[in-house]
Amino acid sequence: MKTNKPNKQKKFESKYWLLAIAVICVVCMGASFFADIKSGPLRVIADYTVIPMQKGINMIGTWIGDVGENFATLKEVQKENEKLKEQNETLKMENSQLQQKSVELDRFYELYKMDQNTSDYPKVGARVIANNGSNWFTSFIIDKGSEDGIREDMNVLSGSGLVGIVTEVRKHSSTVRSIIDEVNVSAMVMTTFDQCIVSGDLKLINDGVIKFEQLPNNDNEVAVGEQIVTSNISSKYLQGLLIGYVSDVKVDSNNLTRSGYIIPAVDFKKLQEVMVITTTKQDLIDNGNQQ
């Protein structure tokens, strides 16, 4: 009997522990629905514990990658160099032509008081240091935080395409949620300015596509390969960021709207460096209001 007693006590104890954890977790989940409880001390914990280590591992990883690349044969590089030199010359020519045109364009922009182009948004480069461990979500951590001027809701690009949006900012790192996890991004067809809704989908991204819906079924034809960009009415995304290219479009059964699939401009599996646009949509709106 004597040996049984402490055993029994222990059982009760762990039961109560679980209950306590469950209650705390449920309360926290409820709280994070309504308020941002992740600000404050909780944010600091991650920033000073695991994230420096993730940065370190990532640095080692890129170093190993670089060493591996160094083994690529010199000949290949030389050949490429020659090719690039040729290309460089032609590009220089094109560039000077384009510069002349861009001066003209600037004048037109001023005349029409048009908004700035994508390339004019101020950007900060950042490195992806860790990605979400689960197979269900596509969020990742970058190595820039509030100290580097990153704020919540900033848009994140890779190359020319939209990757996602900053959801959480710590001092030296921030979490980015990709558009695959995002539903209902307001977008438009680049050439016709027809509005549509883009939604990421775990099921579709395995086939390499995301879907768009509610594109008005008007006379404007949407061809395969057409660019879909973020729209001017989106509340969180800046206007004109490339989401991807139309791969398939069909008229819905209601005959009023069209829907289809987009091939994203970004390869979400191979993200290493990203660009964060340091203006948010809210900034632009506020600026507009002031003026």
Contact residues for another protein (CB under 8 A)?
Answer: 10-11, 13-14, 17-18, 21-22, 24-29, 31-33, 37-38, 42, 45-46, 49-51, 53-54, 57-58, 61, 129-137, 139, 141, 167, 175, 202-203, 206, 269
Q: Which of 243, 215, 91 shows the shortest CA–CA distance to 155? A: 243
Q: Is there a contact between 156 and 139 (Cβ–Cβ < 8 Å)? A: no
CA dihedral 263→183→124→286, nearest 10 degrees, is: 130
Task: Please state the closest distance from residue 127 (CB atom) to another protein, in A.
Answer: 12
Task: Tell me how far apart the alpha carbons of residues 167 and 156 are, in angstroms, rounded to a whole number.
Answer: 11
- Whichever of 180 and 238 has its CB closer to another protein, that residue is 180
Task: Please state the closest distance from residue 54 (CB atom) to another protein, in A.
Answer: 6
- Whichever of 95 and 184 has its CB closer to another protein, that residue is 184
- Whichever of 27 and 224 has its CB closer to another protein, that residue is 27
Pairing of β 123-131 and β 273-277 = antiparallel
Task: Please state the closest distance from residue 218 (CB atom) to another protein, in A.
Answer: 29
- Cα 8 to chain centroid distance, Å, stands at 52
- Whichever of 55 and 151 has its CB closer to another protein, that residue is 55
Task: Tell me how far apart the alpha carbons of residues 70 and 270 are, in angstroms, rounded to a whole number.
Answer: 20
Task: Give the residue ranges of DSSP H helices in the chain.
Answer: 4-34, 41-48, 50-70, 74-112, 202-205, 281-290
Task: Please state the closest distance from residue 144 (CB atom) to another protein, in A.
Answer: 15
- Whichever of 206 and 289 has its CB closer to another protein, that residue is 206
Task: Please state the closest distance from residue 18 (CB atom) to another protein, in A.
Answer: 5
